[in-house]
Amino acid sequence: MSDIRFHEMGDGRKVAFRHTSGNGPTLVFLPGYMSDMAGGKASAIFDAAVAKGRSCLLLDYTGCGESSGDFADGTLSRWREEVMALIDAYVEGPVLLVGSSMGGWLMLLVGEALHKRLAGIIGIASAPDFTVWGFSEDKRDRLLAGEVVLEDNPYGPEPTPTHPGFYADAQDNLRLYEEVKVDAPVRLLHGQRDDDVPWAISIKLAAALRSDDVQVTLIKDGDHRLSREADIAQLLAVVDSFY
C-alpha cells in the first residue's frame, strides 16, 4: 500500500486513494460500511487490473482507512461527493463501478450521477436501503432522537456505530422504492448464506433498476463477505466480462 496518494477536497478533507492507469473503463471499487481499500476484494481487483493493464481506482471514504476525518461525520452524500471528486480528477472516459455491501448502495448514487460515463456496475452483497429493512423500529426511533446506536460487530472487536447524521442522510437517498436511473449493464453477486444482507435484496434491486441488462448470481454457500478464493475468482471473471 506504499503507493497511497491523497486528494484534498475543497474543505480540507483528505481522501486516500490508489490509482493505476491502463486500458478500458476504469474500475472504481466502493468498500462497505467501515471498510477500506486494504480489504481482500479491493486488493484483488487492483492487482488484477495492474496485471492486465487496466485502469483502476481505490479509495478510503473520509473517516475510514487512511483518509482524514471522523467516521461520525460520514454520510452517503458526503462519500458520493468524494467518489465523484476523485473520478473527475483522475479518471478519463467510462467508469465500471464495483460496490460491496453499503458500497452497493453508494454505487447506485454514483452511477446515476455518472450518466453516460457509466460502463456498468457490479454489486457484491449489495445493501441499498439497509436503514429501512435492516433496522428495528427501536433503532430508528433512537437515531431520530439523536442517539448513536452501537451494535455487535461480527468482523472486529469494536462495536459498529450508526450515527444520527448517517441515518438522516440515508433516508433521503433510498433507492428500492423508485426506479434506479441506471441504463448500463448490471451484475449482482449475492451469497445465500449471507447473515447481514438477505439475498432477496439483490432480487428487489434488479427489479428497481431501469436497465434491462441485469443479471443476479446467487452463490448457495456464500456468506456476506464473499472473500473466499473461489468467490474472488468469480468476481474477477465478472469484471473480465466487461472487457
Which residue numbers are catalytic? 101, 194, 224
Side-chain half-sphere exposure of 115, counting CA atoms within 13 A = 0
Cell of 154: 461480527
Running DSSP on this structure, what letter comes out for residue 157? S
Give 203's contacts (C-beta < 8 A, 6+ positions apart): 216
Which conformational region is residue 125 in: left (phi greater than 0), alpha (psi within -120 to 50 degrees), or beta?
Answer: left
Torsion over CA: 58, 62, 64, 68 (sign) = positive
Radius of gyration of the chain (CA): 17
Give, in order, the Cα–Cα distances in Å from 127 to each of 11, 119, 123, 172: 29, 21, 9, 15
